[in-house]
């Protein structure tokens, strides 16, 4: 059984498609037969809500995991999608930053708990829109960072700060960390700007940028209010097709990494 794959989905900007990508990449990988666990590491809990995890099922959350008050198997909840589980979050996660700040192992809390994730499974961590202690915990736990970039003006702004943070984590707590890739999201092909941002990103970042680009698609934005991934809400929508194709590229990139490691 291959080692488990842990990928942090991070960008300190809000609204770039982190949560949408976590949920739909997770659903697509699960559909393709992989065992997937999502970690909702954002106090807003959008990934949990988007997968229909009601508040009354969030008795034990990622907060308890970080506080070492519960184990991985106790907090990983089943979803309506076969092969897809989620560790949910609630707003009290916002105080974890302050509460962990004084502890010596504050950046390793999640890493330690994810040692219990099943071998061969894929863990996707939906990070909050900040480079604080929560995102650091994700980067220390992960082998890869997937960066969604919204195909709009200023898309590349802030990226150097994100890459510098990854570099710092590599030099300290997690030498194995790599950039898994860059995913362009919410692209509008009728809009010249989207095409220009894509061209810029490919010129600057080369092969790090995934071939598949996620189009702006209203079905993608409607799906969370129906408490499901777009793959379940409208399986043949452009968004579903794109996330399925991206999931194949993502899986093969993981295998390449595993084979050459
Ligand atoms: P983040 O987690 O980075 O803050 P979200 O994934 O929550 O970003 O996305 C921000 C908003 O954009 C949400 O309302 C989401 O539904 C919408 N959105 C994300 N991706 C798409 C897409 N491909 N097409 C249309 N709307 C999208
Ligand atoms: Mg989010």
Can you give the pLDDT at residue 259? 35
Among 17-26, 88-97, 153-162, name the one with the lowest average pLDDT: 153-162
Band of residue 256 on the pLDDT scale cut at 50, 70, 90: very low
The mean pLDDT of 191-217, rounded to a whole number, is 94
Phi then psi dihedrals of residue 148, to 5 deg: -75, 135
Spell out which residues line ligand 1, taking CB within 6 angstroms: 14-20, 46, 129, 185-186, 214, 216-217, 220-221, 224, 239
**How far apart are the CA of 183 and the centre of ligand 2, in A?**
15
Residue of 8, 15, 20 with the most ligand 1 atoms within 8 Å of its CB, for mutation: 20
Q: How many H helices and E strands in the chain?
A: 12, 7
Can you give the pLDDT at residue 122? 97
Give the separation between CA 202 and CA 164, rounded to whole angstroms: 19
* Neighbouring residues of 68: CB distance < 8 A, sequence distance ≥ 6: 109, 112, 113
Band of residue 2 on the pLDDT scale cut at 50, 70, 90: low
Digit-coded pLDDT (tens) for 141-151: 999 999 999 98
With CA atoms as reference, report the closest residue to 143 among 196, 180, 190: 180
Secondary structure (3-state) at 21? helix
The mean pLDDT of 104-111, rounded to a whole number, is 94
* Neighbouring residues of 74: CB distance < 8 A, sequence distance ≥ 6: 60, 64
Sequence ranges of the domains in the chain: 5-260
**How far apart are the CA of 234 and the centre of ligand 1, in A?**
16
The helix (H) or strand (E) run that includes residue 76 is strand 76-78
User: How far is residue 256 from each of residues 30, 102, 197, 252, measured CA to CA in Å?
Assistant: 19, 39, 27, 6
Strand boundaries in 82-168, DSSP class E: 84-87, 122-126, 144-150
Can you give the pLDDT at residue 47? 98
Q: What is the pTM of this model?
A: 0.96
**How far apart are the CA of 185 and the centre of ligand 2, in A?**
13
State yes or no: pLDDT of 176 exceeds 50.
Answer: yes
State yes or no: pLDDT of 24 exceeds 90.
Answer: yes
Fold of 5-260: Rossmann fold (3.40.50)
State yes or no: pLDDT of 157 exceeds 90.
Answer: no
Neighbours of 249 (CB within 10 A): 14
State yes or no: pLDDT of 258 exceeds 80.
Answer: no
**How far apart are the CA of 16 and the centre of ligand 2, in A?**
8
The mean pLDDT of 28-57, rounded to a whole number, is 96
Band of residue 156 on the pLDDT scale cut at 50, 70, 90: confident
Tell me which residue has its CA closest to atom 16 in ligand 1: 221
């Amino acid at each position: 059984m291959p080692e488990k794959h842990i990928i942090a989905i991070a960008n300190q900007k809000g609204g770039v498609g982190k949560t949408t990508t976590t949920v739909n990449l997770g659903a697509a990988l699960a559909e393709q037969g992989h065992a997937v666990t999502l970690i909702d590491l954002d106090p807003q809990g959008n990934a949990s809500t988007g997968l229909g995890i009601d508040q009354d099922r969030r008795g034990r959350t990622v907060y308890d995991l970080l506080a070492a008050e519960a184990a991985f198997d106790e907090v990983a909840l089943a979803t309506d999608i076969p092969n897809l589980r989620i560790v949910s979050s609630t707003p009290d996660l916002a105080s974890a930053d302050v509460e962990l700040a004084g502890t010596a192992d504050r950046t390793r809390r999640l890493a330690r708990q994810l040692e219990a994730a099943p071998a061969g499974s894929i863990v996707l961590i939906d990070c909050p829109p900040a480079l604080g202690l929560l995102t650091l915990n994700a980067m220390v736990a992960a082998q890869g960072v997937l960066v969604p970039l919204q195909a709009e003006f200023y898309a590349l702004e802030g990226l150097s700060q994100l890459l510098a943070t990854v570099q710092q984590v590599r030099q300290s707590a997690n030498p194995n960390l790599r950039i898994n890739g860059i995913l362009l999201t919410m692209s509008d092909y009728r809009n010249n700007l989207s095409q220009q941002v894509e061209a810029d990103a490919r010129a600057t970042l080369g092969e790090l940028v995934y071939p598949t680009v996620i189009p702006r698609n209203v079905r993608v934005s409607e799906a969370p209010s129906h408490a499901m991934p777009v793959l379940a809400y409208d399986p043949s929508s452009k968004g579903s097709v794109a996330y399925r194709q991206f999931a194949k590229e993502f899986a093969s990139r993981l295998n390449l990494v595993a084979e050459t490691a």
